[in-house]
Amino acid sequence: MNGLELFWVGLANAFSPLNFLMMLTGLVIGVLAGALPGITMLNAIVLVLPFTYSMDIVPSLLLMTAVYGGGIFGGSITGILFNIPGDPMNVPATWEGYALHRKGHVAKALGVAIMASALGGFLSCLVMTLVSPPFARVALSFSATEYYAVVFLGLVSVVVINTRSVASSLVCLFLGMLLGTIGIDDTFGSARFTFNSRLLETGINFTIVLIGLFAIGEVLEQLCERDKIPDQGLKERPKVSLMTPREVWAFKGPLLRGFGSGTMIGMIPGAGATVASFVSYGIERQVSRKPEEFGKGSWDGLNATSSAINASTGGAMIPLLTLGIPGSGATAVMMGAFLMHGIQPGPLLFDKAPESVYTIFAGMILCNLIMILAGWVCSKFFSELMRVPETIMGAFIIVFCFVGAYALRNDTSDLWYMAFFGVLGYFMRRYRLPIPPLVLGIILGPLAERYFLTAMIASNNDVSVFFTRPVSAGILLVSIGMLFWPLLQARMNRRKAAVQAADGAVS
């Protein structure tokens, strides 16, 4: 079957009762999780992951992608209403949305956030559907050298993205890669860092690490910092005024720019919705005819950043499905779902299970349309759940995590591992150490090692093979340039500052 026929088959499968129910459930969970303080989109995906073990891969992925899209939008609700963004990615939307709220435009601000997020996600999923199959066909011609170059690019990207401290990103990345080596080596069959423990021979379960770092760590931080967060009770249920077609057309510029930047940045491994949100906000501020309104309630800014954050979802799925490289923390969890079901995402997935892939495509497109209704409903009625005390919500999440972790392998040792990574996640947040490099190090580290050793064996230990093949050489040069560009930029900035200081002293 050709691509169009497969899409119609996937669309029919997406409307099956189970798959459609998974999408609705995931959207509601995602929007509520993004809106509730102390629960993030990534927490919600991690929490539902253990319960997908007994399900088929398609409803599992539809559930998690629905949580993904709904959760990214949900964080804008609390940002617009209370000036408390649900996730870092919602900060730019909070700047403009809360300012509009104070001007008396809360109903329209919520409606703009819903419509812009849905449209950005819808368009990015269309791009994902069109781009992924030819991209996968190109990827089929890749050898181990090209795959190693792509993985190396992903490792470099997640380091460069953290502009606060490249050194801390490198440390966390290497720690994640070290944790990823625990267990039996796939190439030579030797045990590494097992300390004669049979349980460690299979390595540390990836799901346990995710639950500990993200869910447990986040809850611990929220409980320890709750006295520092001001109580902002909800005075009334929010109202929502959705955008009309004429208003959508009037803001087509910010919407399309947000969609474009969000989709492209989402395709970069390690970047994700947070980077897409801030970059699109900065771009829109530069091109806007009213830049003075930014920070004071700009409709252009709210449209652009809301469109970008959900557009990053479709972009992030492209490297996952075509190359087996997660483009964000959420897609890293979805990769864990693939691996739990014994499926390796990558270009061969389009040959082995094309109907499943196109069902995921169609489901994600539908999710963004249904999100308009889900966002509208949840924006009106989530206020009751907001009144649940943080201590009760935190206790519920912790119990939920322990039940889910134990259900994976029915082994109490996993509970100790999860607790350890939960404490580690708390301290990493407290001391502002980046968690995404650690997580992607655990995921991409073993892949990088496997592809490197395979390439070395195939080339008789000739390292030059990575630079004699055009594709791998190009990707590696881009990676090296990305790694050294911040250092060169910092040096140029210091020189510029020194020249300006000297000119000031002379004058």
193-220 pLDDT, tens digit per residue, is 888 777 777 777 777 887 788 778 878 8
Encoded amino acid at 330, one letter: A
Residue-level pLDDT at 104: 78
With respect to residue 488, please indicate whether it lies within any of the assigned structural domains. no
Residue-level pLDDT at 234: 44
* Local structure of residue 491 (DSSP, 8 states): H
Strand-pairing partners, residue 184, are: 191
402/164: higher pLDDT: 402
410-434 pLDDT, tens digit per residue, is 778 888 888 999 999 899 888 888 8
Instruction: Compute the average pLDDT of residues 184-192.
Output: 78
Residue 230: is its pLDDT beyond 50? Answer: no
Residue 277: HSE in the Cβ half-sphere, 13 Å Cα cutoff = 26
Tell which residue, 85, 458, 150, 454, has the closest CA to residue 324.
Answer: 150
Residue-level pLDDT at 1: 64
Residue-level pLDDT at 427: 92
Residue-level pLDDT at 84: 65
Q: Percent of the chain, pLDDT > 70?
A: 86
Residue-level pLDDT at 123: 92
Residue-level pLDDT at 160: 67
**Top-ranked range on mean pLDDT: pick from 351-355, 444-448, 474-478:** 474-478
Residue-level pLDDT at 256: 92
15-60 pLDDT, tens digit per residue, is 999 989 999 999 888 888 877 655 677 778 888 888 887 888 888 8
What mean pLDDT, rounded, does the chain reach?
80
With respect to residue 482, please indicate whether it lies within any of the assigned structural domains. no
- In angstroms, the Cα distances linking 75 to 45, 71, 253, 291, 463 are 14, 7, 24, 25, 47
With respect to residue 487, please indicate whether it lies within any of the assigned structural domains. no
With respect to residue 231, please indicate whether it lies within any of the assigned structural domains. yes
Residue-level pLDDT at 21: 92
252-303 pLDDT, tens digit per residue, is 889 999 898 888 877 766 556 776 777 787 778 778 787 777 777 888 888 8
With respect to residue 336, please indicate whether it lies within any of the assigned structural domains. yes
Residue 341: is its pLDDT beyond 70? Answer: yes
Which domain, by its residues, includes 297? 3-469
Euclidean distance between CA atoms 416 and 79, whole angstroms: 35
Residue-level pLDDT at 271: 57
231/340: higher pLDDT: 340
Among the ranges given (47-61, 313-327, 372-386), the one the predictor scored with the smallest mean pLDDT: 372-386
pTM for this prediction: 0.65
With respect to residue 485, please indicate whether it lies within any of the assigned structural domains. no
387/153: higher pLDDT: 153
Characterise 295 by phi-psi region: left (phi > 0), alpha (psi -120 to 50), beta (else): left
Q: Is 177 exposed, middle or buried (0-12, 13-18, 19+ CB in 10 A)?
A: buried
Confidence of residue 232 (pLDDT cuts 50, 70, 90): very low
Number of other residues whose CB lies within 10 A of the CB of residue 338: 20
| Domain total in the chain | 1
Residue 85: is its pLDDT beyond 80? Answer: no
Residue 408: is its pLDDT beyond 70? Answer: no
Residue 237: is its pLDDT beyond 60? Answer: no
Euclidean distance between CA atoms 32 and 74, whole angstroms: 6
Euclidean distance between CA atoms 192 and 438, whole angstroms: 19
Number of other residues whose CB lies within 10 A of the CB of residue 130: 13
